[in-house]
C-alpha cells in the first residue's frame, strides 16, 4: 500500500464453506476522494467492507487500512457507519456520544441544531433521519482519516439524503478517503469514482460514463404496461420497471418487437442511452 491510499484490497477473497462471497477483489481508496461501491443485494459489498475493517479475515489475498493491517490501532483512525448505524438504541443520544468519545479518547462532539432538542431522547425513539444524522456525528467525532459508510442514507427522505451527502463531501474536502455503498443510483453522481460488484466480483470501475460505456437500452411505451412487462419477463428479456415505465437494457430492439408482436401487444419501441442501474443489470446477468 502506498501513502496515498487509505483502503486497499489485493485479490481479497472470502469464502464461507463452498460459497464465495468476495472473489479476488482488488481496489483502493485515496485521501480526499469519495468512492461509491455499487451492486445488488448479495453482490458482496458488505462482506468486502467487513474485510477492509478487519471484522472478517480474508480466505485469500490481503487488505490494508491506513497503511497497515486492519487492527485496533488502525481502526481507531477511521470512522464507520454500518447499515444498523452502530448506535445503542437503549441509551440516549447524549449517552451514545459520551460513550463513543470515551472509546476514542476525544472530546464529546457538539450536536447540530437539528439534534440538540433530542439529546436526552433514547436513540430507539428517534426518527430514522435523526438516527442517521447522529450516527454521522459519532463516526466523525474523532476526525477520522478514512470513512466507511454502508448504506448511510437508506430509508430517509430526499432532503435528509442531500444533507448527509453534504457532510460526506465536506469530509472528502478535508482529505478523508470515503468508501460508501448505496442503493440510490442517483447518488452515484456524487462519487468521484465507482466500483461495481456482482456475484462477489469487481466487474467494473471508473466514472459513471466509463462503466456505462456504449451500452444502450430500449424504452417501451405502451398502455398495457403490466402485460408488456410479463411478456418480456417470460421471454427472459432483462426488463426493468420504474413505476409504469418499461426499459430493456442491452437487447436488440427487433427481439423486443418480435416478442411483443407475437403476444399481440401494441407498443412503441425507442432506443435510448442506458443508465448505471441498467449497466449493473447487464453485468450481473453476465456472471
CATH of the domain at 233: 3.30.70.790
- Alpha helix stretches (DSSP H) within the chain: 45-52, 72-75, 93-104, 113-116, 128-140, 158-173, 208-212, 225-234, 253-262, 276-285
The three cell numbers of residue 33 are 476522494
Question: Are residues 123 and 59 both part of a single domain?
Answer: yes
Question: Are residues 114 and 15 both part of a single domain?
Answer: yes
Q: How many other CB atoms are there within 10 angstroms of residue 3's CB atom? A: 9
Question: Are residues 164 and 278 both part of a single domain?
Answer: no
- Residues lower than pLDDT 50 in the chain: 1-2
For residue 277, what pLDDT is reported?
86
The three cell numbers of residue 187 are 447518488
For residue 155, what pLDDT is reported?
77
What is the pTM assigned to this prediction? 0.86
Question: Are residues 197 and 273 both part of a single domain?
Answer: no
242 domain-assigned: yes
Instruction: Kindly give, in sequence order, each residue whose CB lies less than 8 Å from that of residue 65, ignoring residues fewer than 6 positions away.
Output: 6, 7, 52, 53, 54, 74, 75, 78, 146
Taking the C-alpha atoms of residue 174 and residue 145, their distance in angstroms, rounded to an integer, is 9
CB 126 within 8 A of CB 151: no
For residue 1, what pLDDT is reported?
39
Question: Are residues 194 and 221 both part of a single domain?
Answer: no
Please state the domain count of the chain.
2
CATH code for the domain of 48: 3.40.50.300
Question: Are residues 150 and 255 both part of a single domain?
Answer: no
Question: Are residues 169 and 235 both part of a single domain?
Answer: no
For residue 2, what pLDDT is reported?
45
Domain that holds residue 182: 7-208
For residue 189, what pLDDT is reported?
85
**φ, ψ of residue 260 in degrees (nearest 5):** -75, -40
- Output the DSSP codes for 71-114: SHHHHTTEEEE-TTTT--TTSBHHHHHHHHHHHHT-PPPPPPHH
Question: Are residues 52 and 154 both part of a single domain?
Answer: yes
User: For the chain, what is the total number of helices (H) and then of strands (E)?
Assistant: 10, 13
CB 164 within 8 A of CB 156: yes
Q: How many other CB atoms are there within 10 angstroms of residue 66's CB atom? A: 23
Question: Are residues 186 and 241 both part of a single domain?
Answer: no
Question: Are residues 218 and 113 both part of a single domain?
Answer: no
Amino acid at each position: 500500500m502506498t501513502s496515498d491510499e487509505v483502503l486497499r484490497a489485493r485479490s481479497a477473497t472470502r469464502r464461507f464453506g463452498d460459497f464465495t462471497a468476495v472473489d479476488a477483489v482488488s481496489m483502493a481508496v485515496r485521501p480526499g476522494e469519495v468512492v461509491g461501491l455499487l451492486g445488488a443485494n448479495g453482490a458482496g459489498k458488505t462482506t468486502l467492507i467487513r474485510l477492509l475493517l478487519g471484522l472478517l479475515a480474508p480466505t485469500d489475498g490481503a487488505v490494508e487500512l491506513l497503511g497497515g493491517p486492519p487492527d485496533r490501532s488502525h481502526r481507531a483512525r477511521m470512522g464507520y457507519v454500518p447499515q444498523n448505524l452502530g448506535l445503542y438504541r437503549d441509551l440516549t443520544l447524549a449517552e451514545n456520544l459520551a460513550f463513543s468519545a470515551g472509546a476514542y479518547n476525544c472530546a464529546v462532539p457538539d450536536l447540530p441544531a437539528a439534534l440538540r432538542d433530542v439529546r436526552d431522547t433514547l436513540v430507539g425513539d428517534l426518527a430514522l433521519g435523526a438516527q442517521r444524522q447522529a450516527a454521522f456525528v459519532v463516526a466523525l467525532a474523532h476526525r477520522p482519516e478514512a470513512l466507511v459508510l454502508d448504506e448511510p442514507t437508506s430509508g430517509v427522505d430526499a432532503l435528509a439524503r442531500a444533507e448527509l451527502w453534504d457532510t460526506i463531501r465536506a469530509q472528502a474536502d478535508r482529505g478523508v478517503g470515503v468508501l460508501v455503498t448505496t442503493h440510490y443510483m442517483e447518488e452515484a453522481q456524487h462519487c468521484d469514482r465507482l466500483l461495481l460488484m456482482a456475484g462477489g466480483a469487481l466487474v467494473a470501475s471508473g466514472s459513471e460514463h466509463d462503466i456505462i460505456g456504449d451500452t444502450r437500452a430500449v424504452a417501451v411505451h405502451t398502455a398495457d404496461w403490466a402485460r408488456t412487462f410479463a411478456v418480456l419477463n417470460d421471454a427472459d428479456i432483462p426488463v426493468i420497471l420504474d413505476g409504469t415505465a418499461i426499459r430493456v437494457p442491452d437487447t436488440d430492439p427487433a427481439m423486443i418487437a418480435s416478442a411483443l408482436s407475437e403476444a399481440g401487444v401494441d407498443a412503441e419501441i425507442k432506443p435510448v442511452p442506458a443508465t448505471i442501474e441498467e449497466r449493473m443489470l447487464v453485468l450481473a446477468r453476465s456472471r
